[in-house]
Structures are given as C-alpha cells and as structure tokens.
A and B are shown apart, each in its own frame.
Chain A
Amino acid sequence: MSACLEIRSLSAVLPNGQRVLRSVSLAVQPSEVRALVGESGAGKTMIGKAVLGVLPKSVRIVEGEMLIEGEDLGRLDPKARRTLIGARTALIPQDPLTALNPSRRIGPQMTDRLVRILGWSGERADSRIRQLLDEVQIRDPERVLKSYPHELSGGMRQRVLIAAAFAAEPRLIVADEPTTALDVTVQKQILRLIAQLQRDHGTAILFVTHDLGVVAKISQKVSVLYAGKVVEEAETAQLFATPQHPYTRALIAATPRYTDPYASLKPVDETVLAGLAAEIAAADKDWRPSHG
C-alpha cells in the first residue's frame, strides 16, 4: 500500500541560493497524523505549502519528489497537478479570519469549493456542509451559514474551516498551526474535534506546529525540523520517551510544564546550537541539486 503522502529528499532554495529545505524526506500513511515541529524558520510551513503547491514565487524546488497516494506530482502537468491536489488534499489554516473572505457569508464560502472545484450540485454541497457542521458540534448551523466571518468567535471560525476541510473527503489534510491563534480552552476543543473527525473519516493529517505539547497530544508520528532539515523522526511516544537528537531533547526541556516548572523552560544550550550549525554546514557542503 502506498503512503498517502511521500516526500523524498525535497530541497528548495531562495533566489540568492540559500537553502530553505534541506533534502527533507517524510511519509504520511493513510489515517495517520504526522506532526512537523520546529521553531520559526525551520521550514515547517514551507513543507505544507510545497505539498499544496502554493509556495511563494521566490522559493524554488530544486530537488526531490512529492507523491500523493503514489502519484508523482512532478510528473503531472500543472493543470493535472492542481486537479489532483484539489481533489485529494485540503488545508486547515492558522488564521481563520484571514482565510475567510470578510465580505461574504459563511455558507456560500463553504459550498463554493465543493461546487466549483469538485463539480457537486448545490443541494449535495449544502447537505454535506450541514452534516459536517453537525460533526464539528455547531448547534445552530442556520445562523452560522448566514453569518459573516467577523460575526463569529475565533473558535467558531476554526470549526467552520475544519468542517470545510473535511467536507470534500480529502485523503490528506495539511493543518498549519491551526490552534496557535486560539485560547487554551478553545484549543483543546478544536484539537479534540480534529482528532475526532480524523478518526471518523480516516484522513491523514500533516500537522504543522511549534508546540511540542500539541505534538504529544495529536500525532502518532513526528518529524523535528531545524533550518529546513529533519533532525529527528520517530513515533511520537518514542520521541518523548527517548529523544535521540540533542536538539529534540533541548526543545522538550525548553517547553514549559506547570507540573514541573524547574525542570522545564530550560534555555537551549549553546553547544546544541553549535552542533546544529555544524550539522547544517556539513549537509550543505557536499550538496548539489540533483536536477533543476
């Protein structure tokens, strides 16, 4: 059985030649949540964008393959690639407010994608959306569908976007920091909903986050990124039990834990950072793009 998403040795550069992704390889199996965790500049969002084919123009992929359910995106012409990505994947964005058009009601925004891109009939899209709104525990779908984005709370908006993401039954969802803008109590509800829908629909999720706490709760597998390089990859339980890479250990030690305030919130050691810098330099030294 082929993986839902497979990325093989993906490298990307900026116009000045600086590498932003360094031979990234990872796979997401069907119905699996894989977390991509890292600090700012680690390239985690970039990978999500690469999968969805929405990289900024300045970033150029110079090496590697991306396969969605065994189909190599690089071998498809742009139109076929967009169709494939549109049919098999969806995004849950970080900021639910900017992801919605402020001047249109929620209802048509949610059905649009189903009708226009997937060619569903209006009624089918509408009933599907209502079903999903029920699944994300929105009790008064009528009101929500008629609302404008600014009339809903942040948590509500994120529920709407989760419903929209699952509506077309994608095989893979890229969730880009979906709870970062939310309060903790709302974050817990949203994570719970994502986990619930993910199980029910058997969807694979590439979950981008900076928060190891969220990683521990939501994912089965995890890739730890630093400067566009995967420094450690493991089963999530394994990663927290026996972290292998010094950077992973440092990140875990830096993440606050109210249960153990003095063992957590430890600054990352200089030697760890120096080790990482050496590792990155070594990786770049012999690297030549294999094509492009």
Chain B
Amino acid sequence: MAEPLFSVRELKVALPDMTRKPLIGRAPLAEILKGLDFDLPKGSVTGIVGESGSGKSTLGRALVRLLEPSAGAISFEGRDISHLSEAELRPLRRDLQMIFQDPMSSLNPRHTIFNIIAAPLRQNGLGDGLKERVAEALQRVGLPQNFASRYRHELSGGQRQRVGIARALALSPKFVLADEIISGLDVSTQAQILTLLEKLAAEMGLTVAFISHDLSVIRRLCQQVIVMREGRIVESSATDALFDNPKEAYTRDLLAAIPLPEIDADWLQPPAKSPA
C-alpha cells in the first residue's frame, strides 16, 4: 500500500455544547470525536459515511484544520499538523482544500465567479496569469468562460457546485475534502457532479475524503470506506470488502435501510426479530 498522505491517531475533538451553555460562563465541552485511528493513502478516495451525529463532518473539518483536535495527532505527509497555528497553517492551505455541501452558502453572493475562484490563487502567490488560471479552472469543471463575470444567484445548483470544485482544485492541492457535496442536488445533477469529481481525482492524482450519508454513492466513488457512528469508527475497510461482507451489524443496518429503486415487497415488513 502506498505511503499515507494523512495518518490519524487517537484523534479526539471536543466542541462547546451550546445546548448546555449556562446563562453565565462558557458552554461545557462535548466530545464529538472519541478517538479515531486511520490512514488516507496517497491518491486514494476514501468514503466517510455516517448518520447525523456521527461526527463525520467534524472529522472532515479537523483534517483540513478548520478545527483543532483536543487530543491525538493528525499527520499530513509525516508532519503533525494537529496544533499548528493559523499562521503556520497558511503555507499548507494550498494543499488542503475543501468542497462544501451547500454551494449557495459557500459562494459569497457579492463576488463574481472569477473572484471566487481567484481568491485561493491570489492568496497563495499565484496571482500571475490569474486570468488564464481561472479560465483553466472553469474549463476543467465544464463551465463556459463567460461564467467568470456572473454571480452566485445567476447559476443553477449544479453549476454552483462546479464552481465550488473549480475553486478547490484551482491550486492543484494534494488533498480535497468533499463534504456531502451532492446531497443538495437533484439526482440527474448528482450523477454529473460525481462523474466530474471521479474524473478529476483520477487525472490530478488527488487524495479525497468523501463525506456522505449515502452508501450507494460511496461504493461508486471510493476505494475504501470508514463507517462512523457517534464519534467512533464502526468499521473501516476496502470498499468491495465492506459491501460484499459487512462485518458489523450497524453497517448491515445502514445497507438494509437504503431504499433501492427496485420493487421489494418485503422491504417494509417489520424485522423478524423485534429490535426490542
């Protein structure tokens, strides 16, 4: 197996729990991630799957260091980045990019698409030939060049997500976090965005963490899968192994809960043994 790009050991993240915040004083911390160990091999696409509250998005945000771990280590190319300051992280940012779930909220309504894609380039010393680079980024995601002068509200959902991808890939990063990037889209658009990401990841040799609640999508895109539940890893293995032979009951439940577009009269029958 290739050398890992990311190596995560005993990762814990605690965040303030605003629901239990007292009237005066700080909110108590709630442990969202409770000790995770895994590697992301270079050039691999890893699916991170879980239901709400599983901590999958928190994990993603810790990987790109939007959050600081409370314990454990995140090594990126052999270097522990878990407690780097914002200033120390800045040179690493061009290698750690992210595509957001909601392209509406992740594109600033007041900037043109050109400025949105140009922002990471400018900030990382790639301001020369900005026009060409943005043009290339647009072309890469299959958007017409005249979109550069448009604004967010002039684009469809799928087009917005293409802009999100163009922005993340403009810097040719080593790692891209894709956080539920197709869950807000129509199925026909989902397929397009997924195919695009699949193609670009292969072409650019990207390492991708693909966060999703949808196992069907993960099987198509990912080489390995991490199944999460309540801040822990339930099961982690190569994709085909996981789908062909899920070891954990929770993984089997997740698979069984997916409504496939096929007639199956038994699917809605109560389970044979009651879940007590």
- Which A residues contact B (CB, under 8 angstroms)? 39-40, 154, 183-188, 191-192, 195-196, 210-218, 236-237, 240-241, 250-252, 254-259, 261-262, 264-268
- Taking a contact as CB atoms under 8 Å apart, the answer to whether B257 and A256 are in contact is no
**Chain B proximity of A250: nearest CB distance (Å):** 7
Q: Are B261 and A188 touching (Cβ within 8 A)?
A: no
- In chain B, residues 225-253, which have Cβ atoms closer than 8 Å to a Cβ of chain A? 243, 253
**What would 15 more interface pairs be, CB under 8 Å, given A39-B188, A216-B264?**
A183-B213, A184-B214, A187-B259, A191-B259, A216-B261, A216-B263, A217-B268, A240-B262, A251-B188, A254-B188, A254-B190, A258-B255, A265-B217, A267-B192, A268-B188
A147 to chain B, nearest CB (A): 15
| B270 touches which of A192, A250, A267 (Cβ 8 Å) | A192
- Contact between chains at A188 and B259 (CB < 8 Å): yes
Are A254 and B219 within 8 A (Cβ)? no
**Known A-B contacts A184-B258, A216-B264; A256 and B188 likewise in contact (beta carbons under 8 Å):** no
Whether A264 contacts B188 in the complex (CB less than 8 A), given A184-B258, A212-B261, A213-B260, comes out as no
Of B186, B187, B267, B270, the most chain A CB neighbours within 10 A belong to B187
B202 contacts chain A at the CB level, 8 A cutoff: no
Interface residues of B in 83-119 (CB under 8 A from A): none
Q: Considering residues A236, A237, A262, A265, which has the most beta carbons from chain B within 10 angstroms of its beta carbon?
A: A265
Provide the residues of chain A in CB contact with B190, threshold 8 Å.
Answer: 254, 256, 265
Taking residues whose C-beta sits less than 8 angstroms from the other chain, chain B's interface range is 35 or more
> Which B residues touch A196, using CB under 8 A?
268
Chain B binding surface, main DSSP class = helix
- How far is it, in angstroms, between the C-alpha of A162 and the C-alpha of B217 when the chains are bound? 30
24 CB-based A-B contacts, threshold 8 Å? A39-B188, A184-B214, A185-B51, A185-B253, A185-B257, A187-B259, A188-B257, A192-B270, A210-B187, A212-B261, A213-B258, A213-B260, A216-B262, A217-B267, A241-B263, A255-B261, A256-B187, A257-B216, A257-B261, A258-B218, A258-B260, A264-B216, A265-B190, A265-B216
Hey, which chain B residues are within 8 Å of A266, CB to CB?
A: 191
Q: Which positions in B face A, CB cutoff 8 Å?
A: 51-52, 157, 186-188, 190-192, 194-195, 213-220, 243, 253-264, 267-268, 270
Q: A185, B254: Cβ atoms under 8 Å?
A: yes
Known: A184-B213, A213-B259, A216-B259. A192 touches B268 (CB 8 A): yes
Query: CA separation between A15 and B270, bound complex, in Å?
Result: 48
Q: A216-B260, A236-B263, A256-B216 are contacts. A39–B186 as well, Cβ < 8 Å?
A: yes
Q: A257 to B217: give the CA distance in the assembly, Å.
A: 8
| Chain B neighbourhood of A257, CB < 8 A | 216, 260-262
Specify which of B157, B188, B264 is in contact with A250 (CB 8 Å cutoff).
B188
CA distance A214 to B138 in the complex (A): 36
Q: How far, in Å, is A214 (CB) from chain B's closest CB?
A: 5
* Contacting residues, chain B, for A39 (C-beta < 8 A): 186-188
Nearest CB on A from B4, distance (A): 25
Closest 7 A/B residue pairs (Cβ): A256-B216, A213-B259, A268-B188, A261-B220, A183-B51, A39-B186, A258-B216
B217 touches A256 (CB 8 A): yes
Complex CA–CA separation, A154 to B190 (angstroms): 25
